[in-house]
Amino acid sequence: MNLENRKYLLIGLVLLTAIVFISRLAYMQLIDDSWSRRATEIAEKRREIVPPRGTVYDRNWKKIVINQISYNLMIVEEKLKDFDTASFAKLIGWQKAEVIHRLKEIKENEGYYLNPATGKRESNFRKDRPYPFIKDLTLEEITQIAHQLGDFNGAIYEEPVGTRYYPFPNGANIFGYMSEVNRKEVEEDAFYRPGMNIGRSGIERAYEDVLRGIKGVRYVVTDATAHEIKPFANKKFDTLAKPSPHLILGLDIELQAYGEALMKGKKGCIVAIEPKSGEILTMVSSPNYDPNLLSGRKNIRKNYPTLLTDPQLPLFARPLQAEYPPGSIFKLLQSLICLQEGVIKPNSSFSCNKSVVGCHNHPTATSVEKAIQYSCNPYFYAAVRKVIQPNKKKKNEEDAVIGLDNWHRYMSSFGLGKKLDVDVDFNAQRGGLIPNSAYYNKYLGKGNWAFSTIRSIAIGQGEIKLTPIQMANIAAMIANRGWYITPHFVRSIGKKGPRKQYLTRNVVPIDQRHFEVVIEGMRRVVYEPGGTGKEARNEQFVVCGKTGTVQNGKNKKNHSVFIAFAPKDEPTIALAVFVENAGAGGVWAAPIAGLMLEKYLKRTVTNKEKEEYIKTTRL
């Protein structure tokens, strides 16, 4: 290499070194504030102020989720100089060996990572970061030791932690619960520090970004023993914490408690919606549990394993996660589609041919209204067949593909076969099943099916699966005569109203005149002879409903289902009741629905004998 080349090589190395150092310096000063923050903390302490978690109210401004304060005893290893382990152990009532073990446990719980620079396995534990040494101390417990914490040079201090409290022991599947953040969550979001809580399910998870508020920062000058002397720079650099706006739910907590009382000793659920707003009035999942059982780390550690292993599945949110065949309530949607497609008219009549499909004894259904009233299976078999086999292809199998996919588009517009974007733990929800041609091609084989193969879908059986919240939304959509707003819990975030997606009407492709036919049929179910929903009748307002008796396999008792809305002309509540293994829809689901409707609309119940019987009977 000649001298000229060496000169250029040397210049290049110098420039490259300069670029590396300048880039690193710029990163440290402009992007990574940890160095400047660390330098500042030599002279003063940076105190992060976490605001209290947001309060939750029901639609009548009753507080349903509030805060209680507990305390974590935090420890920073970097400051543990000349640490008197024996004195600290005596202060908190532990043995010295227990303190040493706990310090080791904190480090091990943080885990390890492979350092790409050194290729060595290194700990995620940071000596400069505070970690909770003891969690969930009461005010009384922390008061007994707080005055001596200053003896440990600022290495140990108390930190308040908000714990949720539920004044009403109801709605656990709605509110969800909170638990301690993990290491990944701390690293991914600067809001959190070890020992803090985060929403894990329900409203607490869905609205975590709202409920946690915005942190503030306070800087203080401290002495050698870590005691505060004065605010730093006369509070010039302090920022105020911003508390969360409160959440107002559409939930009626008294109706929620009443529904849980009616469902005690039974498996199933109740979902009630205000049709015009889509606000969920109640969502009962039974069996249930007191939400306070999962409030705070001690309670979670004590009660969660028991709830998780309970064979009655109290943690299983049936309204959102259970998928059931809908049974005869599905006939309401079949009626709307058949009318819209023009394959039947309001006064169309079909004979009740029990050789085609089983049915109970009733007069001939000479109209759609009477077919709904009597819940005639052969009627809907004949009507739906005209939709699925529209005579557009010569081969039945090819014709059924066209008809079924057209039928599927209607069902999809009703919000079926997919998750409803309910604002509570969306990931845990299920979407049910509405089969299309691709589904049957996959499982039965292309060209191997037609309406005669899949005819059970005409009466809401077979492959059809709905969640209870979808069933309630069907009632709301019919009550509105052709539209619905996606069901949701939060009526307003502070004064801002709900999230934008809960202000949009979802309009279904059915003419309004067809809804009036179906609604009259629903009225007849409750009030006319031969109707199966008489147990939901109320003379103070007009109830429109439909029963369903859902087949549940061989040697198993059928499920009982009922959907309804009231009052007929200006509906303010729509609901679905599903009771597992309870028999016919008119026996259990309908009377429960009737009591719920009266409780909401009149705030009292007149038939105390029926109420007491339902509350005390175990199925």
Residue 5, burial from CB neighbour count under 10 angstroms (0-12, 13-18, 19+): exposed
CB 460 within 8 A of CB 450: no
Q: How far apart are CA 37 and CA 33, in angstroms?
A: 6
**504 token code pair:** 């949009």
Residues 6+ apart with CB under 8 A from 59: 248, 249, 250, 251, 252, 279, 281, 491
Read off the pLDDT band of 43 (50, 70, 90).
very low
Read off the pLDDT band of 39 (50, 70, 90).
very low
Share of the chain above pLDDT 70, in %: 89
- The model's pLDDT over 450-508, given as tens digits with 9 standing for 90+, comes to 999 999 999 999 999 999 999 999 999 999 999 999 999 999 999 999 999 999 999 99
What SS3 state is found at 561? strand
- How confident is the model over 559-583, as a mean pLDDT? 96
**463 token code pair:** 């492959």
Write phi, then psi, for 218 (nearest 5 degrees). -130, 130
Which residue spans of the chain are classified as CATH 3.40.710.10?
253-304+317-616
Answer yes or no: is pLDDT of 222 > 50. yes
- How confident is the model over 226-235, as a mean pLDDT? 57
Residues 6+ apart with CB under 8 A from 13: none
**76 token code pair:** 């920073």
Q: How far apart are CA 50 and CA 241, in angstroms?
A: 7
The larger pLDDT score, comparing residue 223 to residue 529, is at 529
Share of the chain above pLDDT 90, in %: 64
- How confident is the model over 137-158, as a mean pLDDT? 86
- The model's pLDDT over 429-444, given as tens digits with 9 standing for 90+, comes to 899 999 999 999 999 9
Q: How far apart are CA 467 and CA 112, in angstroms?
A: 43
Read off the pLDDT band of 357 (50, 70, 90).
confident
Read off the pLDDT band of 40 (50, 70, 90).
very low
CATH architecture label of 253-304+317-616: 3-Layer(aba) Sandwich (3.40)
CA-CA-CA-CA torsion sign (82, 87, 88, 89):
positive
Residue tagged 């499920």 (tokens): 559
Which H or E run contains 216?
strand 216-222
Give one DSSP letter per residue of 137-159, joined into a string. E-HHHHHHHHTTGGGGTTSEEEE
- How confident is the model over 296-323, as a mean pLDDT? 93
Is the domain 44-249 a CATH 3.40.225.10 member?
no
What SS3 state is found at 330? helix
- How confident is the model over 148-171, as a mean pLDDT? 87
pLDDT at 361: 81
pLDDT at 114: 80
Q: How far apart are CA 459 and CA 451, in angstroms?
A: 13
What counts of helices (H) and strands (E) characterise the chain?
22, 20
CB 329 within 8 A of CB 307: no
Answer yes or no: is pLDDT of 125 > 60. yes
**230 token code pair:** 């004065």
The larger pLDDT score, comparing residue 150 to residue 414, is at 414
DSSP-H helix ranges across 480-588: 512-527
Which residue spans of the chain are classified as CATH 3.90.1310.10?
44-249
List the strands of the sheet with 573-579, edge to edge: 280-286, 268-273, 573-579, 559-566, 544-550
The larger pLDDT score, comparing residue 219 to residue 511, is at 511
Asked which of 294-303, 523-532, 540-549 is least confident by mean pLDDT, the reply is: 294-303
**400 token code pair:** 């059924």
Residue 176: how many other CB atoms lie within 10 Å: 25
pLDDT at 7: 62
The residue type of 47 is R
Answer yes or no: is pLDDT of 35 > 60. no
- How confident is the model over 365-384, as a mean pLDDT? 94
pLDDT at 41: 46
- The model's pLDDT over 395-421, given as tens digits with 9 standing for 90+, comes to 999 999 999 999 999 999 999 999 999
CB 225 within 8 A of CB 218: no
DSSP-H helix ranges across 33-95: 34-43, 85-92
Read off the pLDDT band of 362 (50, 70, 90).
confident
pLDDT at 52: 87
Q: How far apart are CA 240 and CA 243, in angstroms?
A: 9
Give one DSSP letter per residue of 158-205, joined into a string. EEEEEEEE-SSS--HHHH--EEE--HHHHHH-TT--TT-EEE-SHHHH
pLDDT at 116: 81
**9 token code pair:** 């090589």
Q: How far apart are CA 563 and CA 544, in angstroms?
A: 9
pLDDT at 42: 42
The residue type of 585 is G
pLDDT at 38: 47
Residue tagged 């150092």 (tokens): 21
This prediction has a pTM of 0.84
Answer yes or no: is pLDDT of 301 > 70. yes
Read off the pLDDT band of 112 (50, 70, 90).
confident
